[in-house]
Amino acid sequence: MELNGVTIKDTFAEAFPIKAARLIVTARDEKWAMHAATAATGFATSVIACKIEAGIERNLTASETPDGRFGVSLLFFAVSGTELENQLQNRIGQCILTSPTSAVFSGIDEGKVVGIGKAIRYFGDGYQISKKFGTRRYWRIPVMDGEFVCEDVTHRVDAVAGGNFLIVATNVEAALFAAERAVAAIASLPDVITPFPGGVVRSGSKVGSKYKFMTASTNDAYCPTLRGLVESDLPSESQAVLEIVIDGLTEEAVANAMREGILAACTHGRKEGVIEITASNFGGKLGKHHFHLYKLLP
């Protein structure tokens, strides 16, 4: 299969079951909402070392938020419900509670309960106040610029992490231009994030290593500097590969994001230096979600 002269490999991306939650962060204006959102989703590229994957899903207008202020929707993914809850509490306490004028609300109203405000409230040292509206409880915690409002609980759902595709190009500039277009296309879609810096990964990995203490190591088959030293999967003219990794609330959301991302990456095709689109998998042995590139594309 080809798209604008770009070869689409007959392979699949292998993704994994994961737990997910959404938080809505608001503040007095866009600048301060983004400060809180950026801090709360920092150091969250991979569960391998960060223990969580997180990112900004989209900006929200005042009409879309519980308190009528500018907001940001954040998605968080962890391998267990316990880890997800711990991470959310720590990130709210250290990154959102600390950010001027911020508030935080649940963005998912179904699934298993995850405590957030019910844990953060103790920072109020006994001066915190509980307010209930309908079935939802909120905590008002006194802070030095007034009050921090935090919803009592949010919820977690089963989700999908690790959807991916690789952009194989003649040089790093071509790979990066294509990757930036792919990330921009994915950013317009609901229920997904690309958790790595700028949505792009240069350090693609394989399972295992020659070092026993390493669970993952560099994907040597796609490293251009190792051509001739390892069994390379690179076309002879390729000097750069970049990967897009996608986490989503549903399998459908990840599939849609992969499709739109690949189409965007191939917009200018081979004439721009994009040679091939492929994907990372582990032979189907580690993840139950398989996204076959041929089935995704029109």
- The CATH number assigned to the domain holding 10 equals 3.30.70.520
Does residue 127 sit in the same domain as residue 79?
yes
Q: What pLDDT score does 30 carry? A: 97
Does residue 151 sit in the same domain as residue 175?
no
Q: What pLDDT score does 286 carry? A: 77
Q: CA nearest 263: which of 182, 183, 191? A: 182
Q: What pLDDT score does 172 carry? A: 98
Does residue 70 sit in the same domain as residue 91?
yes
Q: What pLDDT score does 284 carry? A: 80
Q: What pLDDT score does 270 carry? A: 94
- The label of the residue with tokens 């996608």 reads 246
Q: Residue 206 — φ and ψ, nearest 5°? A: -120, 160
Give the other-Cβ count within 10 Å of 255's Cβ.
22
Rounded CA separation 11/293 (Å)? 6
Q: Structural domain of residue 153, as residue ranges?
A: 19-157
Q: What pLDDT score does 55 carry? A: 98
| Global pTM exceeds 0.75 | yes
Q: Average pLDDT by consecutive 10-residue portion of the chain (298 residues)?
A: 96 97 98 98 96 98 97 98 98 98 97 98 98 94 98 98 98 98 98 98 93 93 96 96 98 98 96 97 86 95
Structure tokens at 258: 């992969």
Does residue 24 sit in the same domain as residue 115?
yes
Q: Residue 128 — φ and ψ, nearest 5°? A: -65, 150
Does residue 195 sit in the same domain as residue 130?
no
Domain count, the chain: 2
Using CB atoms within 10 Å of the CB of residue 17, give its burial: 0 to 12 exposed, 13 to 18 middle, 19+ buried: middle
Does residue 127 sit in the same domain as residue 78?
yes
Rounded CA separation 40/54 (Å)? 8
Does residue 176 sit in the same domain as residue 216?
yes
Last residue of a domain, one of 157, 175, 208: 157
Does residue 147 sit in the same domain as residue 228?
no
Does residue 145 sit in the same domain as residue 268?
no
Last residue of a domain, one of 157, 192, 211: 157
